[in-house]
Chains A and B, each alone.
Chain A
Amino acid sequence: MEGSRRSFLKLAGVCALGLGVKPAVNAFSADAPAVGPFSLNPGALIGKQWAMVVDMKKCWEKGKEGCKDCLLACHKVHNVPEIGNIKEEIKWIWTEHYENAFPGQESHFMPEFMHGKPFVVLCNHCTNPPCVRVCPTKATFKRPDGITQMDFHRCIGCRYCMAACPFGARSFNFKEPRPFVKDIDPTFPTRERGVVEKCNFCEERLAVGQLPACVTSCKVGALTFGDAENPKSEVRKLLAANFTIRRKAETGTQPNVYYIV
């Protein structure tokens, strides 16, 4: 073949143009998450950073004394065992007193209405989660929608994440949990001995278009769930209208559960 320098340069130019156009084509391609035959459920809730606002005032003022609806609902749908021993207890959502939930922010002269009152606490699904950083198997990871998710299949039970989490949001299965689950919900797995577990922000319910179980179970609407990155979401409206605090914000983990006190 008698190729001239001119035709070679033409061809090279066309090739370079093609490479230059590729990113632009990528940008216009559909951004619905799908890989081969796998795709998102059609009715799934989609967000960029799921967050929760807990209105403790509503909980205390309107809720009944000792109401545990959110705790029971969560532990029911996720087959969380009730071990009955505080050293081995498993908890996804639980209550703490103010001085334990917000250490360093307490004062000698707390208002009377807060004395001995329960604060609803759960995994904060931090924007900068230390549990994800320390996990040696990537069993804990950050989803694109901001949920700090656990892959129980990968957990080797090293408990680094429990040491790393400043909120005590993770529990270890010291014994086989299944005998301690009263009525097993057949739609959700249990865990096995030797894995860590925690709140998953009801990732399995979001996938079918439902709000988290704790949110829907609260009769007084003290829990609000939404996308913190969406300025029109319920969560953002509450955050704009109220002064809120977060647990141990000074640790820099950027918790995504906010409290109205």
Chain B
Amino acid sequence: MKMYNADKIIPGLIIFVAVLTLPFWYNLGKAATPPQPKIDTPVIQQMSEKTCILPKTEMRAGHMQMLNDWRTQVVRNGLRDYTAPDGKHYNMSLQNDCMKCHSNKVQFCDQCHNYMAVTPYCWTCHVEPKENK
């Protein structure tokens, strides 16, 4: 079988594949640094026992469901008090409770969210803490 214009098509195909895979070659060996959310805020530093509402792994995996549940309970049902499994009571409020400890939104929230390319729109309404930027 004879291929017409092989002298143009084959280099063209090679260039096409090279351009298509360019992002892979460009980033080869350069892993994006995984985020390391910081918890060194003044409030957390002063805690004798540095624990969140749930264990760290559970918070990391499920904070979005928790915030969603809290939203439902506070806004729809008017229930604002959360009893953690360890018996501590928390005021279910992103602005007034979560961010009281985690007052470093840039270092704590944004790092991971940027890494994972998620853009939660909490802060279009909720007021973010003032930070020393």
Contact = CB atoms under 8 A, between A and B. Distances in A.
Contact of A38 (B77, B129, B130): B77
Contacts of B79: 33-35, 38-40
B73 interface: yes
Interface in A14-65: 33-35, 37-42, 44
Nearest to A33: B79
A207 B127 contact: no
Nearest to B90: A37
B105 to A, nearest CB: 12
Interface in B26-71: 71
B109 interface: no
A37 B82 contact: yes
A135 to B, nearest CB: 13
A234 interface: no
A174 interface: no
A186 B127 contact: yes
Interface residues of B, number: 24
Interface string B100-128: 00000000000000000000010011110
B83 to A, nearest CB: 5
Contacts of A192: 121, 124-125
Interface string B80-94: 111111000001100
Contact of B77 (A33, A42, A153, A189): A33
A239 interface: no
Contacts of B78: 33, 40, 143-145, 203, 207
A134 interface: no
A188 B126 CA distance: 7
A184 interface: yes
Contacts of B91: 41
Contacts of A38: 73, 77, 79, 81-83, 92
Contact of B95 (A40, A152, A153, A186): A186
Interface of B: 71, 73, 75-85, 91-92, 95-96, 121, 124-127, 129-130
26 contacts: A33-B79, A35-B77, A37-B83, A38-B77, A38-B79, A38-B81, A38-B82, A38-B92, A40-B79, A41-B91, A44-B80, A145-B78, A149-B75, A151-B75, A153-B71, A153-B75, A185-B127, A186-B127, A186-B129, A186-B130, A187-B95, A187-B96, A190-B127, A192-B121, A192-B124, A207-B80
Give 8 nearest A-B pairs by CB, closest first: A192-B124, A38-B79, A38-B73, A189-B125, A37-B83, A189-B126, A39-B81, A151-B75
Given A34-B79, A187-B96, 19 more contacts: A33-B78, A33-B79, A37-B82, A38-B73, A38-B79, A38-B81, A40-B79, A40-B80, A41-B91, A143-B78, A149-B75, A151-B75, A152-B125, A153-B71, A153-B75, A188-B95, A190-B125, A192-B124, A192-B125
